[in-house]
Amino acid sequence: MATDLLLLVAALILDLLVGDPSWLLHPTQVMGAGINLLERLLWRPGARPAYLISTGGILVVIIISTTWTVTRVLLWLAGNISHWLEFVLAAWLLATTIAPRGLATAGRAIARALKAGDLGAARRQVGLIVGRDTDSLTAIGVTRATVETIAENTSDGVVAPLFYFFLGGVPLAMVYRAINTLDSMLGYKNERYLFFGRMAARLDDLANYVPARITGLAICVAAFFLGQGRRAWITMLRDARKHPSPNSGYPEAAMAGALGVQLGGLNYYQGIPSHRPLMGQALRELEPGDIDRAITLMAGATAIITMAGGIYLAFRIYWH
């Protein structure tokens, strides 16, 4: 249990210092290759919904069980060689499940482009981190997309993997990352994935149910130190359920309230319009500086969750 506390600190330091270097194979790349392979083997054009749902479920079970097993085996093998090797491997694996540095780096690059008046560069940069069409976004649209993504990924990319690490160690954190990867690749409501990706989408909703609400609360607490905690809390309680996702509304509504801006509105996905309910009150217009403020709130929420998790692990050590 004491090792878990050290792992938490080591993983956060690794992410802050190194992040996810492009030259190093990332576990999600391996997961993605496995998902692609199984999809080619199992998906059939024109197949009945029952077949697609069941085979999509089989794919999910194979990826999750393989992720859990491979993680446990790798750590066991490393432990048989050296406890230090096991610790370093576990810290690196945990660091690959979180992305506060990557979120902050991407957000700052977009903010710099907007502040420099280079809307084209800002559109290209935001296109790397969002799924919506970005070619015709205004500066305000780019800012909104970035702030919404930072809010949502504070849950998916920071709080949720740490939450599952606290519950079940590095293997469970890796399983969460596998679930998130499955949803990002298969969880679309289009002709190909409506049925085949249904299990992946539902499981992702379930896995994020508690972490998303914890994230919203953590953003509210972080906003409290900036003098906007009450507004963030009221906005989250009022607007979170408006979001079509059962989870994304909590961090996004809390972020909107903390910043005093309005999120949501019209997005386009492959040219198809999609209107998202408005969250928060437009006390002022969105500006590039809101990206920096969102990053600050993300960092604050990360610190709060880390401290809360550290206290939880310390209590486990004390009562063991």
Count Cα atoms within 13 angstroms, Cβ side, for 136: 7
67 with 175: CB under 8 angstroms? Answer: yes
Q: What digits encode the pLDDT tens for the residues 56-81? A: 999 999 999 999 999 999 999 999 99
Label residue 303 by pLDDT band (50, 70, 90): very high
For Cα atoms 104, 105, 108, give the angle at the middle one, nearest 5 degrees.
80
Closest CA to 154 of 288, 302, 310: 302
pLDDT over 80 at 252, yes or no: yes
Give the pLDDT of residue 189: 84
For the cut 90, the answer to whether the pLDDT of residue 102 exceeds it is: yes
| Residues 90, 169: Cα–Cα separation, whole Å | 9
The DSSP H or E segment spanning 264 is: strand 263-269
Instruction: Share the mean pLDDT of the chain.
Output: 94
Report the C-alpha gap between 215 and 121 in whole angstroms: 30
The answer to whether residue 238 scores a pLDDT higher than 90 is yes
pTM for the whole structure: 0.94
Q: Is the pLDDT of residue 85 over 60?
A: yes
Which pLDDT belongs to residue 2?
A: 60
What is the predicted pLDDT for the residue at 271? 86
The residue that leads in pLDDT, 3 or 37, is: 37
Averaged over 272-284, what is the pLDDT?
A: 92
For 165, list phi and psi in degrees, rounded to 5.
-65, -45
Q: Does residue 1 register a pLDDT over 60?
A: no
Average pLDDT over residues 12-37: 92
Summarize pLDDT for 133-190 with one digit per residue, the tens: 999 999 999 999 999 999 999 999 999 999 999 999 999 999 999 999 999 999 988 8
Q: Where are the alpha helices (DSSP H) in the chain?
A: 2-17, 27-42, 49-81, 83-97, 100-115, 119-127, 139-154, 160-186, 198-224, 229-239, 249-259, 289-319
Which of 101, 85, 92 is CA-nearest to residue 170?
Answer: 92
pLDDT of residue 3: 81
pLDDT on residue 20: 85
SS3 276: strand
Residue 112: C-alpha distances to residues 58, 105, 109, 131, 242 (Å): 44, 11, 5, 21, 31
